């Protein structure tokens, strides 16, 4: 009995201890729970009221300019329209995004588009064509007037993003047709406007199913919970995560209104993939699947779009068109059952044709070019701004010219290896390589750039970063220096001035240097034209000694060569190392009549609102065109290099079928390690380099290796009607015979700086007297 009496106080004491432990445990749990709820509430507010989405910055190509003379077939107009989601119709155009073709014209209803300096309203245009598919005129159909030109908007060619590219077109709830939001709500959460964020009945039903299955196999999620999962949490399927999801949904609904939650949900939902792009939001989904704004969707399209939300990888038309149609029909049935549509509308929508979406994404078509854009933009803006700020970055890239360039270089290198097995290497790191860059000399815009044979195997950009000897490509700078001296009243050099093509020995650093001609032959006194057309080494070295190495270096600097230059005699033959881009800029200065323009990759940048952004740290003075050499001297060199193509070392261009007026120069280095060709028309300057990265001997010449690639490219990339170089003021064109006399009968056309032209004529007797009398 005594033992029993003693045990009662002990049990009471133990009970009090347990009660206290439970009380403190409960108190601690409650405190932690409150803190956890406050933490979740803070997380909900922080993202919902901050920057809700990471908007990738997109890199755009240049627009396609439609103007008289353009060959629309070569420019790839139709393929470009299709990539930009224009719809071809069988009748004259009526709506934005349509185009119509007939034999004599093409009609296009342009999309509206924000450019860096202005916003282009969508307008209907007609492009009238010649029998050769060249544009005769461009007309605005809305105003019935002729235009100087029209622009087809740029394409997205790359971007800045973090782990995933989430492509969105943000919309407001007021922009959406009611039937579209009704369709989403009846399929995803019929009680959306009635529950506080969670639906107890749905949760209970799903919980019972999940308990029987031993895991999460069914959700009872409301639309708000779906938003929480996508917006905050991710796709993990555990009981703990579902609890967190429900709690955050309640907090979200306590903080914000139903319409704001619905709008955010509609901008967040996932609609599938377009290559590396994830399609997010109802705005982008409508554009991706139907090429329309949401407000323009038909009932059938709205139902199909709402049906995709549950599982884009199952119900998208591009995945399984039959499943997509059945899902759309189910949405229509539910809408009818809920009284949202009439029976007539139901049957009409069921009869709408569904088209399987063909992916039109064409990203990373110019990887070397895009890398250069990324490098330049990364120097201007922090990465956070680029990956989430939604900037539109406009480049100078022409996608069609880029495609032609990549194909020309690839096939050209393959052809060289097929013709000469010594050039073929089994090791990818030792493969024959090449580079090509095309520049518009009127603007400095880089239209295409291929930095190597295969970007997947080598990301080294040989256009911008390779330093190679240009060889004879440097020679025109020597002749330009001579003609510039003549233009400024110095020695009156002309294309028919003579220079001795004979052995020459010079002292360089205490050693003798004796250059030789490529063919080891010497022609004696020859004209400057013959010396450049034939790429004569000894004649060019003699001319360089006459005009002075310092003057040549100064000229090279003025027209765009930035690499170190030493005042040694071999510089005249290209012993310096330069990049292909530098040579492209230098020759662009010649093509533009002596006006220097730096190579330009960026056209402008705008923010998501369409407002232009100034490029930080950029000195616009460096981008201004500058007349660095007289137009007359530049024209004389161009005129000489036209002869290079017609009868000199570049005559293979004509033999391979390129007939348009053009100028150019071959370049070959000692030991045949580097092969170059640079040529240009008034509209396009193109540089091609071929060689091995490790400087191996390759038996390569500019005429045999680089010239065929250049010609293949230019034959396809010259979209506009051919035009010739126009002589500037201060230049006279005369027919001169081989004795240097003006002679209309048997002379060839030659260009002279005014005041340096010959005075003697080949006319005799009474004809000579009459000309003197009347002319």
How far is residue 681's CA from residue 260's CA, in Å, rounded to a whole number? 58
How far is residue 371's CA from residue 601's CA, in Å, rounded to a whole number? 11
How far is residue 557's CA from residue 552's CA, in Å, rounded to a whole number? 9
Name the active-site residue from 79, 120, 128, 188: 188
Name the active-site residue from 96, 472, 588, 630: 472
Spell out the residues 6+ positions from residue 610 whose beta carbon is closer than 8 angstroms to its own.
114, 119
**Token pair for residue 700?**
């390569």
Closest CA to 523 of 548, 499, 495: 499
How far is residue 453's CA from residue 447's CA, in Å, rounded to a whole number? 18
CB 300 within 8 A of CB 352: yes
**Token pair for residue 732?**
């006279």
Print burial letters for 9-30: b (CB count within 10 Å at least 16), e (below 16): eeeeeeeeeeeeeeeeeeeeee
Closest CA to 432 of 404, 402, 462: 462
Sign of CA dihedral 264, 267, 272, 277: negative
How far is residue 47's CA from residue 569's CA, in Å, rounded to a whole number? 67
CB 337 within 8 A of CB 189: no
**Token pair for residue 233?**
């949490």
How far is residue 21's CA from residue 259's CA, in Å, rounded to a whole number? 46
CB 75 within 8 A of CB 404: no
Closest CA to 168 of 34, 283, 275: 283
Respond yes or no: is residue 188 known to be catalytic: yes
Region of 471 please: left (phi>0), alpha (psi -120 to 50) or beta: left
Regarding beta strands 64-66 and 685-691, do their DSSP bridges make them parallel or antiparallel, or are they unpaired?
Answer: unpaired
CB 86 within 8 A of CB 106: no
C-alpha distance from residue 243 to each of 200, 220, 229 (Å): 13, 12, 11
Spell out the residues 6+ positions from residue 116 whose beta carbon is closer than 8 angstroms to its own.
394, 603, 604, 605, 606, 612
Provide the 3-class DSSP secondary structure of residue 35. helix
The DSSP letter of residue 234 is -
Closest CA to 83 of 13, 153, 9: 153
Respond yes or no: is residue 507 known to be catalytic: no
CA angle 387, 393, 399 (to 5 degrees): 115
How far is residue 377's CA from residue 392's CA, in Å, rounded to a whole number? 11
How far is residue 167's CA from residue 58's CA, in Å, rounded to a whole number? 10
Distance spanning both ends of the chain, measured CA to CA: 152
How far is residue 407's CA from residue 366's CA, in Å, rounded to a whole number? 12
In degrees and rounded to multiples of 5, residue 766 shows phi and psi of -60, -35
Provide the 3-class DSSP secondary structure of residue 660. coil
CA angle 633, 708, 572 (to 5 degrees): 40
Establish how many alpha carbons lie within 13 A of residue 646's alpha carbon, considering only the half-sphere containing its beta carbon: 14
Integer-rounded Cα radius of gyration of the chain: 36
How far is residue 351's CA from residue 345's CA, in Å, rounded to a whole number? 10
- Which positions are catalytic? 188, 472
């Amino acid at each position: 009995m005594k033992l029993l009496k003693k045990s009662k106080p002990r049990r009471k004491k133990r009970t009090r201890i347990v009660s206290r432990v439970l009380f403190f445990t409960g108190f601690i749990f409650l405190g932690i729970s409150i803190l956890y709820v406050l933490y979740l509430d803070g997380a909900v507010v922080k993202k919902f009221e901050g920057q809700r989405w990471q908007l990738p910055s997109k890199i755009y190509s240049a627009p396609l300019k439609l103007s008289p003379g353009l060959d629309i077939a070569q420019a790839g107009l139709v393929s470009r329209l299709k990539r930009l989601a224009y719809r071809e119709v069988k009748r004259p155009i009526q709506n934005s995004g349509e185009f119509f073709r007939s034999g004599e014209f093409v009609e296009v209803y342009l999309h509206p588009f924000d450019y860096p300096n202005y916003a282009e309203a969508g307008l209907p245009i007609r492009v009238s064509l010649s029998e050769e598919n060249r544009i005769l005129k461009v007309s605005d159909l809305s105003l019935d007037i002729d235009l100087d030109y029209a622009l087809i908007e740029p394409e997205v060619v790359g971007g800045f993003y973090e782990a995933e590219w989430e492509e969105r077109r943000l919309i407001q709830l007021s922009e959406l047709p009611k039937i579209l939001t009704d369709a989403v709500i009846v399929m995803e959460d019929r009680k959306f406007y009635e529950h506080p964020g969670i639906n107890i009945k749905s949760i209970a039903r799903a919980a019972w199913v999940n308990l029987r299955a031993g895991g999460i196999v069914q959700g009872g999620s409301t639309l708000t919970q779906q938003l929480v999962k996508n917006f905050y949490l991710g796709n993990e399927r555990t009981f703990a995560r579902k609890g967190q999801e429900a709690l955050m949904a309640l907090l979200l609904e306590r903080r914000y209104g139903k319409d704001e939650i619905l709008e955010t949900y509609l901008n967040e939902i996932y609609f599938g993939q377009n290559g590396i792009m994830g399609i997010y939001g109802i705005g982008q989904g409508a554009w991706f699947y139907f090429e329309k704004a949401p407000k323009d969707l038909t009932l059938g399209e709205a139902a199909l779009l709402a049906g995709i939300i549950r599982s884009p990888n199952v119900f998208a038309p591009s995945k399984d068109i039959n499943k997509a149609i059945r899902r759309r029909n189910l949405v229509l049935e539910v809408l009818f059952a809920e009284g949202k549509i009439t029976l007539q509308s139901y049957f009409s929508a069921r009869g709408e044709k569904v088209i399987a979406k063909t992916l039109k994404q064409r990203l990373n078509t110019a990887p070397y070019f895009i890398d250069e854009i990324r490098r330049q933009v990364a120097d201007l803006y922090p990465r956070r701004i680029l990956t989430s700020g939604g900037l539109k970055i406009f480049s100078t890239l022409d996608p069609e010219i880029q495609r032609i360039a990549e194909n020309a270089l690839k096939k050209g290198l393959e052809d060289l290896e097929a013709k000469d097995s010594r050039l073929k290497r089994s090791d990818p790191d030792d493969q024959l390589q090449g580079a090509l860059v095309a520049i518009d000399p009127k603007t400095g815009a880089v239209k295409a750039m291929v930095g190597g044979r295969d970007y997947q195997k080598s990301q080294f950009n040989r256009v911008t970063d390779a330093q190679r000897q240009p060889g004879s490509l440097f020679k025109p700078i020597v002749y330009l220096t001579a003609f510039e001296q003549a233009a400024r009243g110095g020695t009156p050099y002309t294309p028919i001035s003579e220079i001795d093509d004979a052995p020459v020995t010079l002292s360089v650093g205490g050693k003798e240097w004796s250059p030789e001609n490529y063919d080891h032959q010497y022609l004696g006194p020859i004209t400057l034209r013959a010396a450049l057309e034939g790429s004569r080494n000894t004649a060019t070295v003699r001319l360089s000694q006459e005009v002075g190495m310092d003057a040549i270096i100064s000229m090279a600097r003025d027209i765009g060569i930035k690499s170190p230059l030493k005042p040694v005699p071999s510089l005249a033959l290209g012993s310096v190392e330069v990049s292909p881009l530098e040579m492209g800029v230098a020759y662009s200065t010649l093509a533009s009549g002596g006006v220097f323009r730096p190579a330009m990759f960026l056209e402008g940048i705008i923010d998501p609102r369409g407002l232009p952004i100034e490029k930080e740290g950029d000195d616009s003075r460096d981008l201004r065109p500058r007349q660095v050499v007289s137009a007359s001297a530049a024209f004389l060199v161009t005129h000489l290099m036209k002869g290079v193509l017609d009868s000199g070392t570049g005559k293979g261009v004509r033999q391979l079928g390129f007939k348009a007026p053009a100028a150019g120069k071959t370049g070959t280095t000692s030991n045949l390690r580097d092969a170059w060709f640079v040529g240009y028309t008034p509209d396009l300057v193109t540089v091609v380099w071929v060689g091995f990265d490790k400087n191996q001997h390759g038996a390569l010449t500019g005429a045999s290796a680089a010239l065929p690639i250049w010609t293949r490219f230019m034959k396809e990339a010259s979209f506009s009607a051919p035009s010739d170089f126009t002589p500037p003021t201060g230049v006279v064109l005369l027919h001169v015979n081989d004795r240097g006399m003006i002679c209309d009968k048997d002379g060839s056309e030659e260009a002279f700086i005014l005041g340096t032209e010959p005075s003697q004529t080949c006319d005799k007797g009474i004809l000579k007297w009459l000309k003197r009398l009347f002319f």
